[in-house]
């Protein structure tokens, strides 16, 4: 636990298990945009344990079920930013689970490739 980490200070969750928890994103890009976060303070996904990865995956599937029930999405984006060059701004690993709807952007083809402008379309 880090005293300076915003995620380490949280104590109210949507879902949790022994090793991870889920919150809604403070700055959502879609209704129900959620974050799956390990309880242990660790900056990079690749430094999480296999147990933490499984715990995060379990909660990603559970929050997906909630998003389906509450928002009726047509699809999902799931992603993790690892490192400053990849856009990570809070250095406590977190997995984005973003519900998507037809028409929420003009042409979503290429999906997560859009993190690099001009590379989404191929």
Q: Which residues are catalytic?
A: 94
By the 8 A CB rule, do 83 and 90 touch?
no
Q: What are phi and psi of 74, to 5 degrees?
A: -95, -10
Residues 99, 79, 96, 65, CA torsion sign: positive
Name the residue with tokens 């104590």: 11
Please give the Cα distance from 18 to 28 (Å, whole number): 26
Tokens of 69: 């029930």
Tokens of 112: 């997560």
In eight-state DSSP terms, residue 89 is: -
């Amino acid at each position: 636990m880090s005293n300076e980490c915003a995620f380490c200070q949280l104590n109210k969750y949507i879902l949790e298990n022994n090793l991870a928890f889920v919150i809604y994103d403070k700055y959502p890009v879609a209704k129900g945009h959620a974050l799956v976060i390990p309880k242990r303070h660790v900056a990079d996904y690749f430094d999480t344990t296999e147990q933490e990865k499984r715990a995060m995956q379990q909660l990603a599937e559970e929050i997906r079920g909630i998003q389906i029930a509450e928002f009726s999405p047509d699809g999902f984006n799931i992603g993790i930013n690892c490192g400053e060059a990849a856009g990570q701004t809070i250095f406590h690993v977190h997995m984005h689970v973003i519900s998507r709807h037809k028409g929420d952007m003009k042409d979503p083809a290429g999906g997560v490739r859009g993190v690099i402008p001009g590379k989404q379309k191929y």
